[in-house]
Structure 1
Amino acid sequence: MVGHVGIKVRDAEPIEKVLRRFSTKVKRSGLLAEMKRSRFFMTQGEVRKMKQQRSARRRQKALRHQGRFSKE
């Protein structure tokens, strides 16, 4: 689980820059992704199935990428 995310506001720093730094830090922490994942309850079977699908997509992408460079 991701903890709290915070930033220190520097002297005379524009609010736009502060917001941009904060949103970047939130994205990098994975907080939003975790919130989206935990929005609905998933059974262990659903979690397992999703992991298998994600793994299959990753393998297919790697094979496509590998085939693209082996022909040269």
Structure 2
Amino acid sequence: MRASFYMDMIPRTRDPRGAVASVFGVIRNTSVPLGISSEDEPNISSTRWRSVADHKNLMYYFETALTPSTF
């Protein structure tokens, strides 16, 4: 629900960098922190990487939970 709400609220832009940054912001906000586990929720696992595909400009962006940079 949170991701859906934020995706609907992101300002539409023609700037690819701004769009990618906005989408990564939503993904980071809904990612499971590294090292999280719960006996009550056995299917939950840490987010190890996040990715965004820009189909218009044929670009693929990704980042890992251990690397502070986006590639």
TM-score, normalised via structure 2 length: 0.31
> Higher relative contact order at CA 8 Å, sep ≥6: structure 1 or structure 2?
1
Larger fraction in helix: 1
Indicate the structure (1 or 2) with the bigger Cα radius of gyration. 1
